[in-house]
């Protein structure tokens, strides 16, 4: 917002969105990454229709190599389970965990960082110590402890990853709020008598979100990798199939049936690489200097 005698916000919201979208669409790597992610998301949504049975069911003879049977294009594993069905259903689990964990991290980190950066003083000192306390524990170790105590399930894994990842968002949001809290549009909002809650969430937060959005894309990728690592170690949800659990199941026959680890591993690489490409493109698109160029 802006009033007479004060400097306006850097760009109107509509113009900023239009400029960011235009820059994003000019990035072929970012567009390609987005298309791949949309395809993976569509596969995850349609997994129950494409492969209506339980992906953990034994449907054919074990160790069918990819291409050996048209009914199972990617072959079967050591128990005769369809590898393609497992990868498609695994996309649902891996993407769900990644998105849920990133969303939880975003909520907690944004609230903590906004309060610390806006109010400063004692609130900033206490919340910063809290962030530092959480960061003293290795993230993956914290996730393992939470999952071991609460029991392995998709919801528990997503919760554990989210609780271990929010300090990154909190630090970033705090830094943005410390920069923006003395901006002209914030001073104008205070002069109009706006309450702190409205200034935080309606005035400052929208201007602090661009770098956070870029970080979230990376956090989704990290959450997918952490879930895969947990499943590989046997700490994933035993009632569902995920890319990590498929890799873990195939490691014992790596020499004789390497495709059982290579195919789900390739799915993880494609998903993480696509998220990183989208994150890089968003970083360019949301850079205010590029928008104004």
Domain that holds residue 156: 33-40+81-292
143 domain residue, yes or no? yes
Block residue for tokens 């001073």: 187
186 domain residue, yes or no? yes
The predicted structure's pLDDT at residue 155: 92
Q: Quote the CA–CA distance of 214 and 283 in Å, as a whole number.
A: 6
CB 169, CB 212: distance < 8 Å: yes
The predicted structure's pLDDT at residue 272: 92
Helix (H, G, I), strand (E, B) or coil at 1: coil
Residue pLDDT tens, the chain, 293 long: 444 444 444 445 555 566 778 888 888 999 999 999 999 999 999 998 999 888 988 988 999 999 888 989 999 998 899 999 999 999 999 899 999 999 999 999 999 999 999 998 899 999 999 999 998 888 899 999 999 999 889 999 999 999 999 999 999 999 999 988 888 888 888 888 888 888 888 888 888 888 888 888 889 989 999 998 998 888 888 888 999 889 988 888 888 889 999 999 999 999 999 999 998 888 888 765 555 54
71 domain residue, yes or no? no
The predicted structure's pLDDT at residue 33: 93
Closest by CA position to 144, among listed 154, 157, 131: 157
2 domain residue, yes or no? no
pTM: 0.84
CB 109, CB 169: distance < 8 Å: yes
CATH of the domain at 236: 1.10.3720.10
Could you give the C-alpha distances from 204 to 20, 112, 191, 201, in angstroms and in order?
A: 19, 14, 15, 6
The predicted structure's pLDDT at residue 287: 67
The predicted structure's pLDDT at residue 288: 57
- Total structural domains within the chain: 1
102 domain residue, yes or no? yes
Token pair recorded at residue 237: 């949800």
Token pair recorded at residue 98: 């990644």
Closest by CA position to 160, among listed 151, 171, 169: 151
19 domain residue, yes or no? no
């Amino acid at each position: 917002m802006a009033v007479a005698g004060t400097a306006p916000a850097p760009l109107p919201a509509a113009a900023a969105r239009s400029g960011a979208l235009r820059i994003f669409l000019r990035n072929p790597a970012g567009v390609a990454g987005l298309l791949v992610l949309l395809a993976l998301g569509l596969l995850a949504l349609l997994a129950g229709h494409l492969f209506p049975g339980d992906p953990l069911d034994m449907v054919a003879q074990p160790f069918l190599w990819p291409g050996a049977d048209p009914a199972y294009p990617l072959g079967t594993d050591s128990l005769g389970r369809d590898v393609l069905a497992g990868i498609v259903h695994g996309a649902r689990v891996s993407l769900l965990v990644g998105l849920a964990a990133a969303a939880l991290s975003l909520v907690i980190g944004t609230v903590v960082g906004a309060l610390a950066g806006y109010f400063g003083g004692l609130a900033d000192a206490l919340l910063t110590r809290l962030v530092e306390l959480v960061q003293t524990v290795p993230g993956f170790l914290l996730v393992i402890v939470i999952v071991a105590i609460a029991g392995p399930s998709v919801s528990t894994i997503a919760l554990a990853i989210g609780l271990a990842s929010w300090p990154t968002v909190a630090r970033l949001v705090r830094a943005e709020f410390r920069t923006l809290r003395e901006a002209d549009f914030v001073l104008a909002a205070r002069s109009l008598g706006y309450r702190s809650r409205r200034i935080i969430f309606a005035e400052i937060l929208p201007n602090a979100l661009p770098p956070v959005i870029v970080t979230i894309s990376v956090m989704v990728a990290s959450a997918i990798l952490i879930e895969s690592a947990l499943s590989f170690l046997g700490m994933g949800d035993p009632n569902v199939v995920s890319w990590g659990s498929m890799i873990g199941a195939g490691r014992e026959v790596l020499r004789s049936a390497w495709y059982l680890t290579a195919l789900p591993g390739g799915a993880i690489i494609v998903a993480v690489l696509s998220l990183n490409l989208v994150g890089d493109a968003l970083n360019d698109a949301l850079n205010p200097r590029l928008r104004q160029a």
